Amino acid sequence: MWKSSIPEWELVGQVFAAHPGRNVKDPITAQHLTELPAFQRAVHGRMPRQVVLDTWRQRIDDVLSQDGSFYKGISTLPFTHWRHLSSDWSDQGVGKLLAHLVVEEENPGPAVALRNALCREEDPLHRLLLPLLRTPTPEQQKPGPLPQATSAEQELLARSPTLQAIVGVLRHLATAPLTGPELLSRFTTMATLGIWLHLLNGNSPQPTPLLLCAANSTDGARSGSQQALARAGSRLQKCFTAALMEELSNRGMDDLSTDAYAAWGQEIFEAPKSPKKGQAPKPPKVDQEAKARFELDFEQFTISEASLFAAACRALTPPASERIAKKKAASTPLGSVNDLGRHLGLYWPRRQGAGARSLRPTAALYDALVPSLLQDKTPVSAREFWRLATTKLGLISGEGGPEDLALLTRAGINGVTLADLKRNAHDVRDELTRLGYARTYADDVTMIATSW
């Protein structure tokens, strides 16, 4: 079958034969062949083999570019081929933004390294996917040009210190001495973490201190982590409120009466009900629960806020974000951030449910974090490693001792003691040791490196 009249068709067999642990006769491969839509029709001559070859390319492209274990809005490697620069529906603009920001016009090395991690020219996979790697122009036989950031994206980068830090970390990670699969998986993890941090921090000049807990952390450490996450979520809500205030102010709605604000918000409380099959749609039904919550919040915020306008916008933030979620998104802004953190393997408990969440990274997160912060194989002290993590990303483990405690206190996070932080830092060092990144010597000094 591989040696057909279409030379490229043989590449499919070569790709599977070159896959680690597989060969052309492998039963798992044979099972995958039978699962391919239209494969049987191609075997029996009822479909042109070129069509099946294109289907194969599409299938492999989907596997390489989409990673369902992470957030669906972030592609594994969004700038490896032209589909992610044009109309990839699953990208939702996030991967494209990162692609444009990570690529440097003066230094294309990180982007080239990522493309090489996907496949090299001498690999059968590269030849098989060449139509996907190049631009849509048929006569162009090489991968398309690297994307460049637009002026709007450059302005966004200039306003966000957190985004600047994560872009620098990603550029460094792209040139780390890792194998192709290692680099792609770690890059995906750090890109997802970067978007999560950017959403929580916004354009704040200083990142929110986030305490990462070990598996057996103390109650105080878990409480501190929960408080830090909750405060970061509150900041996100405040950003939404500020955007709502700006929008209403531009509409000239910043000086209305209480009744006028309530009347304007009436549309938000209208929850359209989907009609049953064969029935005409019914008029929207007012969400009485959301309306009652708004009225109560509005009454309370008029006392604490400086103006009636600020009180109305703050009270409208929860129902407005929920309304947006029903119309245009899968969840509210804060809900999307929580979904992202959970799929990333950062939240504990791992599953969605009631109760406060703390931050407990999985091994995959540490696998991505260590090579993103450290240069080559040069060991650094655990204190220096976490200083880098705190300065660039706002992540702390307690290794900084009094400095970390001061950071948490300034952020309004209480109930964490120095003993809690020391115990947590010790347990995190143990986790890094089990993962092979840390070594503790006789003088009780722990060093961390990408490899030993």
pLDDT tens digits, 59-82: 555 544 443 333 233 333 333 333
65 and 144 belong to one structural domain? yes
Residue 452 lies in a domain: no
Cβ pair 435, 366 in contact under 8 A:
yes
Residue of 235, 258, 232 whose CA lies nearest to 393: 232
With residue 359 as reference, give the H or E element that holds it: strand 358-359
User: pLDDT tens digits for 193-251?
Assistant: 888 898 888 788 888 899 999 988 999 999 999 999 998 888 888 888 888 888 888 88
Q: What is the pLDDT of residue 5?
A: 46
**Overall number of domains in the chain:** 2
Query: What's residue 152's pLDDT?
Result: 84
Whether the per-residue pLDDT at 404 is higher than 80: the answer is yes
Least confident range of 152-156, 394-398, 444-448: 152-156
pLDDT at res. 72: 33
Q: What does the pLDDT average to over 268-279?
A: 61
Q: Which residues contact 220 (CB under 8 A, 6 or more apart)?
A: 415, 416, 417, 419, 420
Give per-residue pLDDT as tens, 81-93.
333 333 333 345 5
Residue 451 has pLDDT above 80, yes or no: yes
152 and 271 share one domain: no
Which residue, of 279, 307, 328, is where some domain finishes? 328
Vertex 441: Cα angle to 436 and 447 (nearest 5):
50
Q: Give yes or no: residues 174 and 269 share one domain.
A: no
Residue 83: predicted pLDDT: 36
User: What pLDDT, in 10s, does the model give residues 253-266?
Assistant: 888 888 888 777 66
CB-neighbour burial class of residue 320 (10 A; exposed 0-12, middle 13-18, buried 19+): buried
Contact 163, 101 (CB under 8 A): yes
User: Do 275 and 159 sit in the same domain of this protein?
Assistant: no
Based on the fold, state whether residues 152 and 15 are members of the same structural domain.
Answer: yes
Q: Do 170 and 25 belong together in one domain?
A: yes
The verdict on residue 142 lying in a domain is: yes
Q: Could you tell me if 170 and 132 are in contact, meaning their C-beta atoms sit under 8 angstroms apart?
A: no
Asked if 296 and 171 sit in the same domain, the reply is no
What pLDDT score does 353 carry? 65
Instruction: Mention every residue, 6+ apart, whose C-beta is less than 8 A from residue 32.
Output: none
Mean pLDDT value across residues 328-342: 71
Q: How confident is the model at residue 183 (pLDDT cuts 50, 70, 90)?
A: confident
Prediction pTM value: 0.73
Containing structural domain, residue 33: 9-188
How far is residue 416's CA from residue 422's CA, in Å, rounded to a whole number?
11
Contact of 347 with 361, CB cutoff 8 Å:
no
What pLDDT is stored for residue 58 in this prediction? 59
Last residue of a domain, one of 188, 213, 245: 188
Residue 448 has pLDDT above 70, yes or no: yes
Indicate if 72 and 147 belong to the same structural domain. Answer: yes
What average pLDDT does the chain have?
Answer: 74
Do 134 and 257 fall into the same domain?
no
Q: Are 79 and 92 spatial neighbours (Cβ–Cβ below 8 Å)? A: no
How far, in Å, CA of 315 to CA of 134, rounded? Answer: 50
Q: In sequence order, what are the residues at sequence separation of 6 or more whose Cβ sits closer than 8 angstroms to the Cβ of residue 440?
A: 429, 433, 446, 447
pLDDT in tens, 2-33: 344 445 555 555 555 544 443 444 444 444 54
Tell whether 15 and 136 lie within a shared domain: yes
Q: Are 450 and 369 in contact (CB under 8 A)?
A: no
143-157 tens-digit pLDDT: 556 667 788 888 888
pLDDT digits (tens, 9 = 90+) for 155-175: 888 888 998 999 999 999 988
Write out the two tokens for 230: 């909750």
Question: What is residue 248's predicted lDDT score, i.e. its pLDDT?
Answer: 83
Query: Which range, 38-52, 101-115, 138-152, is most confident?
Result: 101-115
Neighbours of 359 (CB within 10 A): 22
Confidence band for 349, pLDDT divided at 50, 70 and 90? confident
- pLDDT above 80 (res 94): no
- Start-to-end CA span in the chain (Å): 46
Q: Which of 328, 358, 391 is the last residue of a domain?
A: 328
When mean pLDDT is compared over 38-47, 89-98, 128-137, 409-418, the highest value belongs to 409-418
In this structure, the chain runs to a length of 452
Distinct helix (H) and strand (E) counts, the chain: 19, 9
Q: What angle do CA 199, 312, 201 make, to 5 degrees?
A: 15
pLDDT at 378 over 80: yes
Is 386 part of any domain? no
Question: What is the secondary structure of 22-89 as a DSSP string?
Answer: --TT-HHHHHHHHHSTTHHHHHTTSS-HHHHHHHHHHHHHHHHH--TTS-TTS-SSTTSSGGGGTT-T
User: Same structural domain for residues 15 and 156?
Assistant: yes
Average pLDDT of the residues in 334-351: 80
The per-residue pLDDT for 285 is: 67
**Burial class of 301 by CB neighbour count within 10 A (0 to 12, 13 to 18, 19+):** middle
Based on the fold, state whether residues 171 and 24 are members of the same structural domain: yes
